[in-house]
Amino acid sequence: MMQALEQHLIDVRRSLHREPELSYEEFKTTDKLRTWLAKAHISVLDLPLPTGLIAQVGQSEGPVVAIRCDIDALPIEEQTGLPFASGIPGKMHACGHDFHTAVMLGAAMLLKAREAGLPGSVKILFQPAEETGHGAESVLASGGLDDVAAIFGLHNSPELPTGTFGTRTGPFTAGVDRFEISVEGIGAHAATPENGVDAIVTAAQIITTLQTIVSRQCGARETVVLSVTRINGGHTWNVLPERVELEGTVRTYNEEIRASMPEKMTRIIEGIAGAAGAKARLHWAPGPPATINDGVWADFSKEIAGQAGYEVHDIPPQMGGEDFALYLQQIPGAFVNIGTGPAYALHHPRFDVDEAALLPAARYFALLAERALVQLKEQA
């Protein structure tokens, strides 16, 4: 049985990998999931979700736990050369969400096989649009998780060898915010800069001065990253442009610091621009907050991982982002990493996972959900 299930999960993962879909476009992916779940006689909740879904296994009486994966892909041209590589130009499962989806489908099938003995029910969440940082919002708004007492999610980790597991209590991933800065100067010939206001020099001063927020306005023990990642200005070699655009991101685990960043940045941006005779404006695009694992459930997830045969690690916090954080603001739970072997980094066009990690991860999440139900039942 397990050999057949493992092959099925490999086939599922490869089917998803061949036909990646971007955030909010996961219609074919959702249809495939409905088909696979129906064949396994697993019910799907009727919810107002255009893409993605929540399946349910278990008893109508008793506690409810949820396990979650994400299903969307990235706008990346695949360069793996795999026989099941993406057939959609410019789209790829470069973050392993195909792996996540296959894992949770396998967990759902294993839970279905022992449904009669479950002391409650498990909701299996196949979430859309994680890459936007806002997909979890639509799931929470649907009401599909209103009765959930504990929730667990995963991400594959190319930094961890296959057979290893990692999580931690407290901050797991950082809050992720994006910003854009527009700098308006006065164009002029490069030979006569005194006739204009140099938007490029102004933007350069803004970039360097923004770094003093981290070094001089945040505590030395705080973890804060402010990165300018895009500069766009000018069209030719001998003209000072009127406009320069900057874009970047801020990452931190501290919600108080996160909330203060727009004001701190605006002071610097407007002050430097004003001193130069230019104008500048900040546009702030908030993303998901920091993922904060509940200590009890993080320890519980590590205990079950050890029982499932994983080599368990207490890993350091990560500066990447994850909208699973939104669930943990409302429902206690834990986010974990499953090792998928040495590989190219997440979001790399040659990224791949070790498929030998599929079945063990499916078995782990089925066991985790079942044991969590038992614990919640005993506490009731």
Tokens 């959930």: give the residue. Answer: 148
State whether CATH 3.40.50.2300 applies to domain 175-286. no
Q: Which residue has the higher pLDDT, 343 or 320?
A: 320
Q: State how far the Cα of 353 lies from the Cα of 227, in Å rounded to an integer.
A: 29
Q: Is the pLDDT of residue 380 over 80?
A: no
What is the structure's pLDDT at 52?
98
Question: What are 237's two structure tokens?
Answer: 């070699």
pLDDT per position as a tens digit, 205-223:
999 999 999 999 999 999 9
Q: Across the chain, what does the average pLDDT equal?
A: 97
CATH T-level fold of 2-173+290-379? Aminopeptidase (3.40.630)
pLDDT per position as a tens digit, 112-124:
999 999 999 999 9
Strand partners, 240: 188
Give Cα 306 distance to the centre of its chain.
25
Q: Residues at the annotated binding site for Mn(2+)?
A: 95, 97, 131, 155, 347
Q: Is the pLDDT of residue 1 over 90?
A: no
User: Cβ(187)–Cβ(278) under 8 Å?
Assistant: no
pTM of the model: 0.95
User: Cβ(166)–Cβ(265) under 8 Å?
Assistant: no
Q: Residues at the annotated binding site?
A: 95, 97, 131, 155, 347
| HEC letters along the chain | CHHHHHHHHHHHHHHHHHCCCCCCCCHHHHHHHHHHHHHCCCEECCCCCCCCEEEEEECCCCCEEEEEEECCCECCCCCCCCCCCCCCCCCECCCCHHHHHHHHHHHHHHHHHCHHHCCCEEEEEEECCHHHCCHHHHHHHHCCCCCCCEEEEEEEECCCCCCEEEECCEEEECEEEEEEEEEECECEECCCHHHCECHHHHHHHHHHHHHHHHHHCCCCCCCEEEEEEEEEECCCCCEECCEEEEEEEEEECCHHHHHHHHHHHHHHHHHHHHHHCCEEEEEEEECCCCEEECHHHHHHHHHHHHHCCCEEEECCCECCCCCHHHHHCCCCEEEEEEECCCCCCCCCCCCCCCHHHHHHHHHHHHHHHHHHHHHHHHHC
- pLDDT bucket at 277, cuts 50 / 70 / 90: very high
* pLDDT over 90 percentage in the chain: 98
pLDDT per position as a tens digit, 151-210:
999 999 999 999 999 999 999 999 999 999 999 999 999 999 999 999 999 999 999 999
Q: State how far the Cα of 275 lies from the Cα of 272, in Å rounded to an integer.
A: 5
User: Where, residue-wise, is CATH 3.40.630.10 in the chain?
Assistant: 2-173+290-379
* pLDDT over 70 percentage in the chain: 100
Rg over alpha carbons for the chain, rounded to the nearest Å, is 24
Tokens 């690690």: give the residue. Answer: 313
Q: If we measure between CA atoms, which residue out of 326, 255, 328, 269 comes closest to residue 298?
A: 328
Q: Is the pLDDT of residue 307 over 90?
A: yes
Question: What are 129's two structure tokens?
Answer: 């649009």
For the chain, the residue count is 380
Q: What contacts 146, CB < 8 A, 6 or more positions away?
A: none
pLDDT per position as a tens digit, 326-342:
999 999 999 999 999 98
Amino acid code (one letter) for 44: V
User: Where, residue-wise, is CATH 3.30.70.360 in the chain?
Assistant: 175-286
Give Cα 118 distance to the centre of its chain.
30
Q: State how far the Cα of 57 lies from the Cα of 42, in Å rounded to an integer.
A: 7
Q: Quick one: average pLDDT of 228-244?
A: 97
